[in-house]
Amino acid sequence: MLNIVLFGPPGAGKGTQSQKIIKKYGLIHLSTGQLMREHIAKNTDLGKQAQEDIDNGKLAPDNVAISIVKEQLDKARNPKGFIFDGFPRTVNQAIALDKLLKSKGWDIDALIMLEVDREELINRITRRSKTSGRVDDQDLEKIFTRIQVYKDQTLPVANYYKEQGKYEPIEGSNSIEGIFEKICSILDRYAS
Ligand code: AP5
Ligand code: MG
């Protein structure tokens, strides 16, 4: 089994690289942002709890994120592994994830950090805002809030995995293919 946290600030390329990874390695993509947007679209209780925070670029409550992940883990039948995209986003979530995985005899292998500078993130999200339909892409203030929330609340998660010797940083500003190659060389190491 191969369980990877694909980590990085808003616009770092987590979703883009996840699509390529799941195709090549047969892993399950678990994006809490995407799943929350689906809950909002279906107007579920979890969606209602998350909507205001998501629209404003803040983090949804931990319990919402954890419930969504638990549901997906429980649903999977003999998975080859998971790409966690946008989760865990707080140290509380990281601790909860460890517990959930442990209860199934699973574990996180590594956290891959996509390092991209602020200007590039803002450019990418602004470009995407024309087609994404995402409320949180639509104005600069919200994009700034997301980047700040990442620094304040999410970056400590990287340390949590660093302390466990599971931290794999890579430069995330190159071409999509170039970044994917680097990711593959890391994954091949853990998969063998
Ligand atoms: P989420 O959906 O996770 O959004 P995010 O973290 O803000 O990241 P993005 O999806 O914007 O970027 P990405 O890293 O996936 O990059 P992408 O591949 O799209 O979360 C949204 C919200 O949901 C949060 O703010 C929060 O409210 C809530 N939420 C989610 N999870 C939560 C949790 N666990 N706890 C609490 N709340 C939670 O790429 C971006 C753009 O750049 C694309 O247009 C892409 O085509 C382009 N691009 C990608 N790579 C490259 C490249 N190498 N070169 C040039 N362009 C590139
Ligand atoms: Mg994404």
User: From atom 50 of ligand 1, which residue's Cα is the shortest distance away?
Assistant: 13
What integer best gives the mean pLDDT of the chain? 97
- Residues at CB less than 6 angstroms from ligand 1: 8, 10-16, 32-34, 36, 53-54, 57-60, 65, 86-87, 89, 93, 124-125, 128, 136, 146, 175-176, 179
pLDDT per residue over 103-116, tens digit each? 999 999 999 999 99
Rounded Cα distance between 22 and 131, Å, is: 24
What is the reported pLDDT for 143? Answer: 98
What pLDDT is attached to residue 125? 98
Q: Are 64 and 37 in contact, with CB atoms under 8 Å apart?
A: no
- Which segments within the chain are labelled E, that is strand? 2-7, 28-31, 81-85, 110-115, 167-171
Burial of 43 (0-12, 13-18, 19+ CB in 10 A): exposed
> Is 104 a residue of the active site?
no
pLDDT digit string (tens) for 5-15?
999 999 999 99
- Yes or no: say if 62 and 32 are a contact pair by the CB < 8 Å rule: no
- Per-residue pLDDT at 85: 98
Query: Stretch 73-87: mean pLDDT, rounded?
Result: 97
Identify the residue whose C-alpha is closest to ligand 1 atom 1: 33
Tens digits of per-residue pLDDT, 24-45? 999 999 999 999 999 999 999 9
pLDDT band at 191 (very low <50, low <70, confident <90, very high): confident
Q: How far is the CA of 164 from the centre of ligand 1 (A)?
A: 25
What would the mean pLDDT of 117-143 be, rounded to a whole number?
97
The answer to whether the CB of 116 falls within 8 A of the CB of 4 is no
Quick one: average pLDDT of 110-125? 98
Arithmetic mean of pLDDT, 147-156: 98
pTM of the model: 0.98
